[in-house]
Amino acid sequence: MSIEAENLSWKIGRKTILDGVSFAAEPGKIVGLLGPNGSGKTSLLRLIAGLKTPHAGKVTLDGRDIGTIGRRAIAQRVAFVEQHATTNSSLRVIDVVKLGRFPHRSMFSGWSLADDEGVSEALERSGMVEKRNDRWQSLSGGERQRVHIARALAQSPKELILDEPTNHLDVQHQISLMRLVASLPVTSVIALHDLNHAAMFCDSLIILQQGRIVASGTPEEIITQELLRDVFSVDARVETSSHHGRPHIHYLR
């Protein structure tokens, strides 16, 4: 398995945020992490990115405990786009994306052709080529989000972890981001609020509620009227889309 979480528990003070969470992300697949506000999605992503240490259980990358892997070695393979990521506001777009190459460079190596290619490809894929020389502070929320995605792509990750990456994006860019992630030869774990997008693009889904996994499986197995009512407190009907063959949710008024 690319990323595996085994019986993770995590607390803040005396409050249990995650409780006995286990899942496995297969190489090259997209795992969607769903759940209501405050259910623990961001906390779980931070644990699997190695930014926090669980109080119980462990995270492994290709079978190796992430706690035994150095920060630089983690950064060479895991890219994490956080929900409220920010950066130095005077940087230009291209400089932010170049930061993604940092884990791959040593003190002695100069900027290489491979670094340039990585940055150009990341700008291209995220649709930010034309804004490459713009200042960070002049960008819209959605453009900033895309620059962070570009920076993550420039990192050439094996695992891509995204916390609500479509949040600030218009619908065109939401779909193109999900298509982009689906086209990458990487393992992705993505927290999402749009359940239809999750059903359309993810290979498997994990549903968190109050820090526990309450359902996991393929979108077809997971997205049911009962789950939408019990976990998300919405009345909805689920059909198989005749367009893409995945479950499609009709929310009721």
Nearer to ligand ATP, 123 or 162 (CB): 162
Least distance from C-beta 83 to ligand ATP, angstroms? Answer: 6
166 binds ligand ATP (CB under 6 A): no
Least distance from C-beta 167 to ligand ATP, angstroms? Answer: 9
Q: Which of 3, 23, 43, 147 binds ligand ATP (CB under 6 A)?
A: 43
How many residues contact ligand ATP, by CB under 6 A?
A: 10
Nearer to ligand ATP, 35 or 165 (CB): 35
3-state DSSP of the chain: CCEEEEEEEEEECCEEEEEEEEEEECCCCEEEEECCCCCCHHHHHHHHCCCCCCCEEEEEECCEEHHHCCHHHHHCCEEEECCCCCCCCCCEHHHHHHHHHHHHCCCCCCCCHHHHHHHHHHHHHCCCHHHCCCEHHHCCHHHHHHHHHHHHHHCCCCEEEEECCCCCCCHHHHHHHHHHHHHCCCEEEEECCCHHHHHHHCCEEEEEECCEEEEEECHHHHCCHHHHHHCCCCCEEEEECCCCCCEEEEECC
Instruction: Assess contact for 225 and 249: CB atoms under 8 A.
Output: no
107 binds ligand ATP (CB under 6 A): no
**Dihedral of the CA atoms 78, 83, 84, 88 (nearest 10)?**
30
Q: Which of 21, 32, 40, 122 binds ligand ATP (CB under 6 A)?
A: 40
Least distance from C-beta 115 to ligand ATP, angstroms? Answer: 33
Nearer to ligand ATP, 12 or 107 (CB): 12
54 binds ligand ATP (CB under 6 A): no
Nearer to ligand ATP, 13 or 63 (CB): 13
50 binds ligand ATP (CB under 6 A): no
- Of 24-32, 33-41, 60-68, 181-189, the window that binds ligand ATP (rule: CB under 6 A) is 33-41
Q: Which of 32, 35, 100, 219 binds ligand ATP (CB under 6 A)?
A: 35
79's CB contacts (< 8 A; 6+ apart) are 100, 151, 152, 153, 155, 157, 159, 160, 161
- Of 36-44, 92-100, 141-149, 166-174, the window that binds ligand ATP (rule: CB under 6 A) is 36-44
38 binds ligand ATP (CB under 6 A): yes
165 binds ligand ATP (CB under 6 A): no
41 binds ligand ATP (CB under 6 A): yes
37 binds ligand ATP (CB under 6 A): yes
12 binds ligand ATP (CB under 6 A): yes
Cross-strand pairs, 239: 248
Q: Interface with ligand ATP by CB under 6 A: which residues? A: 12, 17, 35, 37-43
